[in-house]
């Protein structure tokens, strides 16, 4: 699809991630990533209801939102966010730069009411298929604007190095903080894949990790092109994306 306009697409894309370090008993784990929704009042609530229905039909093990949920105050899209109450899968999110700008406190309250857990600067340990999995999340790099500190090293020191770990963080550049900590997979968004060609070429100079899969030391990084838009509601030669991962 060369030209994409508006909110009428459900671009689920099957993606196999091969990790040499992931626990063998967790292989086959299915994760849906939602990134860069940029929800405003121009987005129809029915679109989100249908999106939730389609995710439930996939029956993933996890749903992870990698930031920029908002393009306006959370209070103005409360009905939109309320659609996530119908999700039948454990769901977590981290804030993106737009969420920080429009108000992370209100977003957190409404998302919690909808059953979606905020993972900003936290570690959650889950038991899936009889094995442990660590999720660690970082709030956006611009959190300081709201007086939110990112205690990255202190947080990563709390990670159990014997447990498979997924890092959820909005901006791909956060992979520079991993150092020698065990993070098997990092899921990020932010770039929109450039959104509009040839601007995507310019974006790549500022965002070296722009779209798809990368390897950094022992960590697999996947950068999602996102679902929504920034600026104009147009994508050109950079389609939207909802990755459905299977960990191999």
CATH number at residue 24: 3.60.21.10
Rounded-to-integer distance, Cα 175 and Cα 196, Å = 25
Decide: 188 and 169 in contact? Cβ < 8 Å. Answer: yes
Number of domains in the chain: 1
Query: Which tokens belong to 174?
Result: 């956060």
Q: Which of 243, 246, 228, 245 is nearest to 5 (CA)?
A: 228
β-sheet bridge partners, residue 67: none
Decide: 53 and 45 in contact? Cβ < 8 Å. Answer: no
Asked if residue 200 has pLDDT above 80, the reply is no
Q: Which of 205, 172, 207, 199 is nearest to 186 (CA)?
A: 172
Average pLDDT, integer, range 36-60: 97
User: Which range of residues forms the domain containing residue 37?
Assistant: 3-247
Query: What residue ranges in the chain does DSSP mark as E strands?
Result: 3-5, 12-17, 30-34, 62-65, 91-93, 116-118, 122-128, 131-138, 164-169, 185-188, 212-216, 219-223, 234-236, 242-247
**Vertex 60 angle, CA 54 and 65, to 5°:** 80
pLDDT at residue 231, as a whole number: 87
* Average pLDDT taken over every residue of the chain: 95
Average pLDDT, integer, range 94-106: 97
Band the pLDDT of 197: cuts 50, 70, 90.
Answer: confident
Rounded-to-integer distance, Cα 180 and Cα 22, Å = 16
Band the pLDDT of 1: cuts 50, 70, 90.
Answer: low
């Amino acid at each position: 699809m060369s030209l994409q306009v508006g909110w009428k697409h459900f671009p689920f894309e099957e993606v196999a991630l091969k990790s040499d370090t992931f626990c063998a008993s967790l292989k086959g784990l299915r994760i849906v990533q939602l990134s860069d929704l940029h929800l405003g009042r121009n987005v129809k609530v029915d679109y989100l209801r249908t999106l939730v229905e389609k995710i439930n039909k996939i029956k993933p093990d996890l749903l992870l939102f990698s930031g920029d949920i908002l393009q306006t105050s959370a209070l103005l899209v409360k009905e939109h966010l309320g659609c996530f109450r119908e999700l039948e899968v454990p769901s977590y999110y981290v804030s993106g730069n737009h969420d920080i700008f429009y108000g992370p406190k209100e977003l957190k309250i409404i998302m919690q009411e909808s059953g979606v857990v905020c993972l900003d600067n936290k570690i959650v340990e889950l038991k899936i298929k009889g094995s442990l999995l660590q999720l660690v999340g970082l709030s956006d790099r611009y959190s300081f604007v709201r007086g939110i500190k990112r205690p990255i090293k202190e947080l990563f020191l709390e990670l159990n190095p014997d447990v498979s770990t997924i890092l959820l963080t909005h901006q791909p550049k956060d992979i520079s903080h991993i150092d020698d900590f065990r993070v098997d997979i990092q899921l990020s968004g932010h770039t929109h894949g450039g959104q509009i060609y040839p601007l995507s070429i310019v974006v790549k100079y500022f965002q070296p990790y722009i779209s798809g899969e990368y390897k950094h030391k022992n960590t697999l990084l996947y950068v999602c092109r996102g679902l929504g838009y920034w600026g104009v509601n147009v994508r050109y030669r950079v389609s939207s994306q909802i990755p459905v991962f299977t960990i191999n």
